[in-house]
Amino acid sequence: MPHSTRRAALRATLRDRELDALLVTNLLNVRYLTGFTGSNAALLVHADSDDASVFCTDGRYLTQAAAQVPDLERVIDRPCDAALAGRAAKAGTRRLGYESHHVTVDGLDTLVDAADGVELARASGLVERLRLVKDDAEVEALRMACAAADRALAGLVEHGGLRPGRTEKDIARELESRMLDHGASGPAFESIVAAGAHSAVPHHRPTDAAVRDGDLVKLDFGALVDGYHSDMTRTLVVGRAADWQRDLYHLVATSQAAGRAALEVGTRVSDVDAAARGVIDEAGYGDQFLHGLGHGVGLQIHEAPALSKAGDGTLLPGMAVTVEPGVYLAGRGGVRIEDTLVVREGAPELLTLTTKELVVV
């Protein structure tokens, strides 16, 4: 992964902000900038060059750090934030940025003591802004994660995993096991399996409730590959689909198609939400669409941008997002259809390839 390229982009931002260096303490941001996957680390990125940047972890990760971060000076110390803040002070750093959205009040006191004489400046979200647009390596990891989820669902359906009598928990366990079989290091999040009336609960947690003939079954799940998360929802019917279920499914599918079509470079994220939401509003079910249209995915399952009414900003090429409208009829059932896509010039790249036709098993 081009970690040095990412750090170079961050250095340009630091110079624009008149920061001599940035202390990165958010572990996901450290991973993004270095490739390090351990549970304790910090990174001091200097605005001038990588030659002055320093990576810190503790003794448990001596060998791992040497393998994963071979291109930076490495320090073994603890606590890492204080150690690197002290290094910055000794090096004559005048203005040191810190991740104010991540550092606690007590943690800031520690930094003030360690960086004696250095001006500490809030620098919230600088790395996250870089993470908004995925590079080729990130998109490939997302493709692999989505493929693992697609194959897991295909195997579940093909081998009769969705049938009357099976519990929501049974189905979730099998789905997650199949994702591991197809290359995932784990599930991207706790899988949602919601049958019958439970499908009307947007974030239902699987229970011992058994699937019954005629149930809608909502499956919201994803795979984790190289730290990157996929996210997909499909709603199926077990047995025979009733007319109201087919109508509801068609409405949500039409809304989801409108949302995908609106994923154009330069479009405001709130307008993407409006494109999909308008279809459901017009059908009279606006009050049953209970959440935003979608969100960014990457090193986190939910990250910027937020595709919602209140979402801010515009779509950029390389953003990875979900489009997931849903309509939930309390006591009866609900339908959600979700894809993970990458914004591209011309048309978005679809990463979740499972059919969006109504599947009756």
Beta partners for 350?
Answer: 341
Half-sphere exposure of 240 (CA within 13 A, CB side): 2
- Do residues 155 and 269 both lie within one domain? yes
Does a structural domain hold residue 162? Answer: yes
Domains contained in the chain, number: 2
Does a structural domain hold residue 355? Answer: no
CATH number at residue 18: 3.40.350.10
Q: Which of 78, 105, 131 is the last residue of a domain?
A: 131
| Average pLDDT, 10 consecutive residues per value, the chain (361 residues) | 91 97 98 98 96 97 98 96 96 96 95 95 97 97 98 98 97 98 98 98 98 98 98 98 98 98 98 98 98 98 97 97 98 98 97 98 97
Place of tokens 């110390």: 77
Place of tokens 């609900």: 334
Residues 6+ apart with CB under 8 A from 281: 289
Place of tokens 């390229």: 5
Q: What is the residue range of 16's domain?
A: 3-131
Q: Which of 131, 157, 172 is the last residue of a domain?
A: 131
Give the C-alpha distances (Å, rounded to integers) separating 275 from 53, 93, 138, 155, 296: 45, 49, 28, 33, 18
Does a structural domain hold residue 211? Answer: yes
The pTM (predicted TM-score) of the whole model is 0.96
Does a structural domain hold residue 360? Answer: no
Does a structural domain hold residue 361? Answer: no
Whole-angstrom distance, CA of residue 97 vs CA of residue 124: 9
- Do residues 241 and 297 both lie within one domain? yes
Residues 6+ apart with CB under 8 A from 347: none
- Do residues 174 and 92 both lie within one domain? no
Beta partners for 218?
Answer: 194, 235
- Do residues 110 and 141 both lie within one domain? no
The pLDDT value given to residue 83: 97
Whole-angstrom distance, CA of residue 202 vs CA of residue 194: 9
Q: Which ranges constitute the DSSP H helices of the chain?
A: 3-16, 27-34, 62-68, 80-90, 105-114, 126-131, 136-158, 168-181, 243-261, 269-282
- Do residues 140 and 68 both lie within one domain? no
The pLDDT value given to residue 1: 55
Q: Which of 131, 166, 190 is the last residue of a domain?
A: 131
Q: Whose CA is closest to 3, among 26, 39, 31, 37?
A: 31
Q: Whose CA is closest to 273, among 288, 250, 296, 256?
A: 256
Q: Do 321 and 341 meet the contact criterion of CB atoms below 8 Å apart?
A: yes
The pLDDT value given to residue 2: 84
